[in-house]
Amino acid sequence: MTGDPTDQRPALIDIDTFFADPEFANPSMSPDGTRIAYLAPHRGRRNVWVRGIDATHDDAVPVTHDTRRGITTYHWTDDPRWLLYLQDTDGNEDWHLFRVDLDDPAAPAVDLTPLDPGSRVVGAEDLPSKPGSVLVTMNRRPLFFDIFRIDVATGETTLHLEQDDPTATVLLDRAGAPVFRTALTADGAVEVAAIDPTGAIRSLRRLGGAEHPMSIHPQQVTADGKGLLVGSFQDGDDLRLVRIDHETGEDTVVAAVDGHDLDLSGMMLPGVLPPPVHTHRRTGEILAARFVADRPHIEILDPHFAEIHAQLQKLSDGVLGTLSCDDSGQRWIATFVHDRDPGVTWFYDNTTGEARLLFRSFPDRDPDTMAPMQPVGFPARDGLPLHGYLTLPVGVEPRDLPLVLVVHGGPWYHDSWGYSNDVQFLANRGYAVLQVNFRGSLGHGKRHVTAAIGEFAGAMHDDLIDAVDWAVAEGYADPARIGIYGGSYGGYAALVGVTVTPDRFAAAVDYVGISDLANFLRTLPPFTRAYSVNNWYRYVGDPAIPEQEADMLARSPITMVDEIRTPLLVAQGANDVRVVRAESDNIVARLRERGVPVEYLVAEDEGHGFDNPENQVLLYRAIEQHFARHLGGRSPEQESAVTATGGATP
């Protein structure tokens, strides 16, 4: 609090506290229901811990010991001795699959997938028909992702399925047999085919094109192996969960909510974000589907799970997030999404009715001091409906505030209701925070996403300006104190903001953002090019075609860099393989040649975003100072000065 006794604002939360690793995260139940695994700090990094179902963290044992980079994704196996996790090197995304021995948790982890640089693991899943084995998808051949069967105990690796078409994905049933194939056609449609026991391939149907910029998701074989679950718009504007029959190709709606899309955001980080479809771990049966709404909507699909979900709903006023159960379906671990309370995890026993709070990710964070996230909507200048979220700082009148426009990455992603460290940090510093799902964002219908074709630095940017104009017209924002901040595509949007509309923003932050669209596409990992037909090539252009490259350069901030006069902060991971360091180096160099002040942070041990806590602290301390200097928000230095002068602004 400041020295003013009438000040109702919550105390500033220290940056080191705000951006520390969570004390507990990503929980899951062991298949036999006797243990819990989760992520918690150990040796200065997020590591995997395991404890008994009735034990506490004091009894838990760290089973991984990484000191270089935090772990995010791990997997139980069907053998109670082994646990698997994914790790890269300093953010380079060359993921390897490691095995840890739960009987000897102090032993060094074993790399089951020694790969050459540039190759990576992109998936690992159980193979119920072969106990002790996992199926791992990786590109030992740099341009092709093949499926291998790995014996977890011995590490013996056998080629299970070779895939020679880089645009195709072969989908397996629970016995590991190929049953479906999806492939991009030359015109960008997705062709779904059945694979018969003889190996013959039968075309079933073609789906979409540009309305599926991240391809068809989910692609999930049903438990009986006779159907394929996909997201499909069919003949409408809403993305539905549809089953395609293996024999007939007939599509049947499994789940649909009028006016809402199936939520695909969990596909970006499986096992960490809530999935589009919840399934039973052992049987693979569909339990529920997730849809985009002001607050995420859970559509229950299994009558037995409906009873369990009803009990889970009593535990939190949030929305069901991730879900884990034992093989019997008796014991459950559920996390809940909430706008003010991050990472609440409950245990529930469906047989006894026992329910207890397992942990909160940040137990020292008081939800009452966090800022509510309000769904908002308004039309774009061409009439396209836009949806977003407004988060207002607690304890101040919501009038004429400094505002930060936070732009999500992707751009084929969407902001949703839930806890955001970025948003809560900015609100705690006194800023109104506006997020808008501009055209091209997923989750708001076919018309909304395809309206972005050819509109980079065009109507996509206009949507952001229209959102700011709405906040000003509603009286929330001071038009002279507007900032823009974003990562990846959001960083590109921030650079577009200060080049296309150089007078609209008083400060900007570009975090691992694109400055040159043509160079960005040329420097993506080679294996990604086969998957770019319906996204970058369709929406932006192909730099190999001269006239398209010229258009891309016209929409690139590097070409308009002479327009920049807004105070700018740029942050970049040195090992970023998506948006390479040159994207930031080049625009910073051009600004410094002109004598334009620009602050530049480079983390040598990070990739596409800062993950290690000390780097996040460095970044957000710079953001705090940058916005406080140019927008006038709160900072420890400013409040100390006010206190020292008896409440008067010095």
CB atoms within 10 A of CB 45: 19
Catalytic one of 608, 611, 626, 635: 608
3-class DSSP assignment, residue 310: helix
CB burial of 151-173 (b: ≥16 within 10 Å; e: otherwise) equals: ebeeeebeebeebeebbbbbbbb
The pairing of strands 477-487 and 507-511 is parallel
155/164 Cα distance (integer angstroms): 25
Q: Is residue 183 within 8 Å of residue 193, measured between CB atoms?
A: yes
Q: Which residues sit opposite 436 in a β-bridge?
A: 388
DSSP string, 493-513: HHHHHHHHSTTS-SEEEEES-
Catalytic one of 94, 466, 576, 611: 576
Q: Is residue 227 within 8 Å of residue 241, measured between CB atoms?
A: no
The kind and range of the H/E element at 323 are strand 319-325
Query: Within 13 Å and on the Cβ side, how many CA atoms surround 403?
Result: 31
Q: In what order do the strands lie in the sheet with 355-360?
A: 319-325, 331-337, 344-349, 355-360
DSSP string, 511-563: ES--S-HHHHHHTS-GGGGGG-TTTHHHHT--TTSHHHHHHHHHT-GGGGGGG
CB atoms within 10 A of CB 61: 13
- Residue 337: what residue type? V
- Residue 397 buriedness (CB in 10 A; 0-12 / 13-18 / 19+): exposed
Q: Is residue 544 within 8 Å of residue 552, measured between CB atoms?
A: no
640 counts as catalytic:
no
Query: Within 13 Å and on the Cβ side, how many CA atoms surround 105?
Result: 15
Q: Is residue 233 within 8 Å of residue 241, measured between CB atoms?
A: no
Catalytic one of 215, 324, 441, 488: 488
Nearest to 153 by CA among 88, 77, 50: 77
Query: Token pair of 25, please?
Result: 């995260």
Q: Is residue 346 within 8 Å of residue 357, measured between CB atoms?
A: yes
3-class DSSP assignment, residue 203: strand
The kind and range of the H/E element at 426 are helix 421-428
- H helices of 249-341, in order, are 303-313
- Residue 200: what residue type? A
488 counts as catalytic:
yes
608 counts as catalytic:
yes
> Which residue carries 């391939």 as its tokens?
201
Which positions ≥6 away from 518 have C-beta within 8 Å?
543, 549, 552, 553, 556
Nearest to 440 by CA among 492, 505, 370: 492
Active-site positions? 488, 576, 608
